[in-house]
Amino acid sequence: MSELKLRLARERRFLVLLGLICLALIGGALFMQHVLGEMPCPLCILQRYALLLIAVFAFLAAAMPGKRSITLFEVLVVLSALGGVAAAGNHAWVLAHPLSSCGVDTLQPIVDGLPLAKWLPQVFEVQGFCTTPYPPVLGLSLAQWALLAFVLTLLLVPLGVIHNRRRAVS
Give the pLDDT score at 98: 74
Q: Check residue 37 and report its DSSP letter.
A: -
CB atoms within 10 A of CB 140: 13
Residue 1 pLDDT? 57
Q: What is residue 72's predicted lDDT score, i.e. its pLDDT?
A: 92
Q: Which fold has domain 3-126+137-169?
A: Bromodomain-like (1.20.1550)
Give the Cα separation of 50 and 157 in Å (integer): 15
Sign of CA dihedral 60, 66, 67, 71: negative
- How far CA 98 is from CA of 87, 92, 123, 129, 147, in Å, comes to 16, 10, 25, 11, 18
Q: What is the pLDDT of residue 102?
A: 65
Write the CA distances from 57 to 27, 51, 69, 160, integer angstroms: 18, 10, 11, 16
pLDDT value at position 25? 92
HSE-up of residue 56 (Cα within 13 Å, Cβ side)? 9
Instruction: Give CA–CA dist 109/125, Å, rounded.
Output: 10
pLDDT tens-digit profile, the chain (170 residues): 577 677 778 889 999 999 999 999 999 999 989 999 888 989 999 999 999 999 999 999 999 988 888 989 999 999 999 999 999 999 998 888 877 666 556 778 888 888 888 898 888 888 877 788 787 888 888 889 999 999 999 999 998 888 776 655 54
